[in-house]
Structure 1
């Protein structure tokens, strides 16, 4: 059982975690948001979900107790549990009226009544005691980024790497590349968007990469062993995910779908009206 995450935790001399208070099957104990820096002006990473008064109360209490305000608000990606609380945070005007808001752009972004600046890969943000470098890590979403805290060789991983379980993704190929890119940073610690702090990040990242490769092989094994049959994503989930929580079945089907699309690009499987078969013309896999 995962250790309980307190509403507010001081993780290091320059990091305070404020839990988003939005628990769920996809958000675990809730979305982790992070205040970074040691001086009066600090950086907030992610803003939790919309209309969660408990989170806003905890955040404002930290502002008061620490005597700080926000220089920057950095958003890891567009999902509502990471950006949904932005307007609620901005209503704390005493501490946010001089904040700049940043997010990596995506083609589907909708117009906002808030001025959001465009993050760029390799961009750096500095406040007293902390320097954050942006790394574009698409896969979970096209606009996903992680933030490398140079002073601690730590990575704020958003939803690319979680404190428990594995992540969902939009594009498997890009996701695998991003996992390797984060691993190449060789971080000493990872602060995830959900779940507890990851103290063995390189081992965890390699597990993620190996896990995805194992899932791919499981799909290929099912199709290869049943070459005269066709399967939908839901059929494959029932055969491969033998102990899955019913609430996660849809997410598992999406993951399998992404694996199949990757395999189709590699000509290892064929698709006929959303039913999948092993490509028997392949000489080997």
Structure 2
């Protein structure tokens, strides 16, 4: 199973006395340096063209520092963002001065005007933390969409998680070498899973390490469809931003495309 860093709202527990990552807004882009934001944004625009109402008003939930929003704006969308972390939103505003950003929880957000497309990238939908909160997020997205609007996000199937599978990437910045690692962990029952994260920073041959387990909601795709279908027509695609293929029922990652009923 493929994994991807999802570091929207994350306060690391550090083994060092220096809490370097107390405010992650300055490190977020570094952690996500290997993500192809352009490809992801292009894929979701294609899905919106196929399933949506052709409108251009777009809201990105858990937007972080706004890289997806930048790509949507550059292709003609009127995009805004929402996040729980104000320093992240401050960085997003610098990247996307045309956009409006709102400090809100995606599980109970409200909007002034409805949107044509709502996105939630990088598995951030799992930050809802519980089935109850996830259901509230779905209701909020439904209420915030125009008729024929699309809610689109990627997600992981709890029953197909491999606890021994991790991804790593490294990057150099300001004379330091960083190594990032992430992987899902599910105990095998219940609606709780974790995103296990680790960061190494080496400067002048001295290495510091930070570790964290992010609590996330765990759900099967069938359970998720059951939550969505009272509000949306649901189509599930393979987690491949380069080509559009319906989910094969075997892979543990998927893109959910949900059209407002």
Q: Which has the larger radius of gyration?
A: 1
- Fold shared, TM-score > 0.5 on shorter chain: no
Give the TM-score of the pair, scaled to structure 1. Answer: 0.31
Give the TM-score of the pair, scaled to structure 2. Answer: 0.33
Where is the helix percentage greater, Structure 1 or Structure 2?
1
Where is the strand percentage greater, Structure 1 or Structure 2?
2
The structure, 1 or 2, with the larger RCO (C-alpha pairs under 8 Å, 6+ apart) is 2
